[in-house]
Structure 1
Amino acid sequence: MSQIPTLDIRRFIDPTSTADAEAFVAELGAAYREWGFAGIRNHGIAQSLIDDAYRVFAEFFALPDEVKRKYHVPGGGGARGYTPFGVETAKGAQHFDLKEFWHIGREIPGDSKYADVMPPNLWPDEVPQFREVGYGLYQALDHLGSKVLSALALHIGLPADYFVDKTDQGNSILRPIHYPPITTPDVPNVRAGAHEDINLITLLVGASAEGLEVRSRKGEWVPFTADADTIVVNIGDMLQRLTNHVYPSTTHRVVNPPGDKARQPRYSTPFFLHPNPDFVIDVLPSCVTPDNPSRYPEAITAQGYLEERLREIKLK
């Protein structure tokens, strides 16, 4: 593959034949084995919902700094609410990312066994539609992510529903991001430093603005600007570990645009799909072969792995 492919997920969700669904699974699996990234179109998420979400997110980020900071939770690791500009730093990076963001998590009952690690959401009073639209997009991406995981499970010889009971209470996060205009020439920071995602898979909606780059197996940076109707889905470190690197978690970044484009804000909304906090990430036996021996002799819970990584990126 010379470029990152974009695939029509209707072939899997509503196939015209069993052969077409099987071909989609094979093509998607091949794309992830090679790139760790793919574009998904005909995903079924209404463009009006995506547009509404970006509108209310932009309304929030336009609020005065002192208002936004009311929703920052010191010591919370950015789990819910607002994280100010200049905090998150890519693992191993010298400079912080040029962004501010908000976290929406799963709504769970107060007596849930996960309540101690999945706190209630915060919602900004100043943007009335933020909760309705933001959580609507959360649920839509959560549903789409489960379809992608189902196809990936089939590709590695697991049942289609393998991930269902392992992600139904997952500590997944919707992250509206604002990259402010860059007004200082020769700034050493980039909008998002080279990194890999922590979770199982990431679904990036509204990735039509340029800036995202993916590092190929040859070490080259490949721009990936998706069409407006395409959601970019990539593998995270948890799935890489679970599959013993059959599905690679590929390094990617968001570079600063040239010239006048740098003085324009950029908005982005990834959905980080996580397993349930107590899910044990242990290498799948089907992903261990003589040519690919287990790289992770010790298992770790999803929550333990998440906390380890949050410390590395300066959120804890």
Structure 2
Amino acid sequence: MGTDAMQLPKIDFFGVDPSAPGTGTWSAVRAQVMDALATFGCFDADFPALTPEQRAALFDGAVRPLFALPVDAKRRNYHGADKPFHGYLGGIPGYDGYESLAIVDGTKPEPVRDFAGLMWPDGGSNDGFCNAVHGVAARIFELEEAVRRMVMEGLGVAKYHDALSASTWHLFRMSEYQAPSAAEKTVRFGSHQDTNLLSIVCQHEVEGLEMQTRDGQWVLVKPSPTSLVVMVGQALRAWTNDRLHAPFHRISVAGDVTRYSAMLFSVPNFKIQAPDELVDDEHPPRFKPHDNNDYIRYCVSEEGARQEDKLKAFCGV
């Protein structure tokens, strides 16, 4: 059951300078971030550093032409059978009307240019596409890194930030959810929890993202020209010893206008193990140390697909 009356916590990042931690409104915003991520596992960030003009250049100038390409071209976004979520997703049973493409290390200009060359080998659309995609991905990365640093500081384990950052990579994913041409909502991507550290979602005009609260209520997150949705993934839930909540979420669309979104995922390339500072009598170990890639493989296995709390089933203590 959902309601439009409920809303996610809204946090204003206007006074936060990601390049200068601790200055301006950093401390006050950090307190709001920690409360939101512990309680809801997500929040709606007002992040004006990513301008409406940049969003328009991304979605209208880059994303729409990308999804207009033939399927055979989009399928070139492939990284091998052992990395099924690194590239193109489409034609999946149970996910009708959903397509998605991704750029590994999309916060850096070179991988974005390589991706564009893969999609448009003649080079005709590359410069505009690259500028739009990298510009947005780099801005979202600033917010992701600021939130990740705030989490480390808020938990009293800031000393681990630099080492974890050096072992974290980012996936920039662009998605299309076709309109059902009906007033009744159609689920295009079912309820799930993300497997990574943090996810940041940039919606474009058409609503559809729904977040589930701890008590089972579904909250529709309406797009705005300056907001980004930040949510915790299972990797960060495990690393913080269950101090942060990883929310279930889904995409439901209605009407006759196609929905587009862009997401930045921070992905751990290190063993997921809660630091000693986050384990005590009040907070005993909740999860066994594990490799995140092993967890992802479990999630897509027949056994993992049957589990609601996949993390607990995989490595819960």
* Whole-Å separation in 1 of the counterparts to 2:86 and 2:224: 30
Alpha-carbon contact 1:6-1:40 (below 8 Å) kept: yes
Match of 2:271 among 280, 284, 291: 280
Q: Does 1:266 align with 2:256?
A: no
* Whole-Å separation in 2 of the counterparts to 1:43 and 1:148: 15
**Structure 2 runs not aligned, ≥5 long:** 1-5, 109-113, 306-317
Q: In proportion to residue count, which structure has more strand?
A: 2
Tell me the amino acid that sits aligned with residue 177 of structure 1. Answer: S
Closer/same/farther in 2, CA of residues 247 and 76 from structure 1, 3 Å limit = same
TM, length-normalised to structure 2: 0.78
Closer/same/farther in 2, CA of residues 155 and 74 from structure 1, 3 Å limit = closer
Superposed CA deviations along residues 83-140 of structure 1, whole A, max 9, x for unmatched, are 22326xxxxxxx336410101011799xxxxxxxxxx756311642333432333232
**Structure 1 runs not aligned, ≥5 long:** 88-94, 110-119
Superposed CA deviations along residues 130-161 of structure 1, whole A, max 9, x for unmatched, are 334323332322222111111111111122x6
Number of equivalences: 286
Shift of 1:218: 1.3
Match of 2:215 among 206, 214, 218: 218
Alignment partner, residue 290 of structure 2: 300
Coordinate RMSD, CA, aligned: 3.1
Closer/same/farther in 2, CA of residues 81 and 239 from structure 1, 3 Å limit = closer
Structure 1 residues 177-256: aligned runs within 5 Å: 177-182=175-180, 190-206=187-203, 208-256=205-253
Structure 1 residues 107-126: aligned runs within 5 Å: 121=115, 123-125=118-120
Alpha-carbon contact 1:43-1:144 (below 8 Å) kept: no
Superposed CA deviations along residues 233-287 of structure 1, whole A, max 9, x for unmatched, are 0000000011111111011111132xxx1x3211011111112x2x121023333
Alpha-carbon contact 2:99-2:176 (below 8 Å) kept: yes
Match of 2:90 among 81, 84, 92: 84
* Whole-Å separation in 1 of the counterparts to 2:136 and 2:106: 13
* Whole-Å separation in 2 of the counterparts to 1:288 and 1:268: 37
Alpha-carbon contact 1:4-1:38 (below 8 Å) kept: yes
Match of 2:81 among 75, 84, 92: 75
Tell me the amino acid that sits aligned with residue 271 of structure 2. Answer: V
Shift of 1:49: 2.4
Shift of 1:66: 3.6
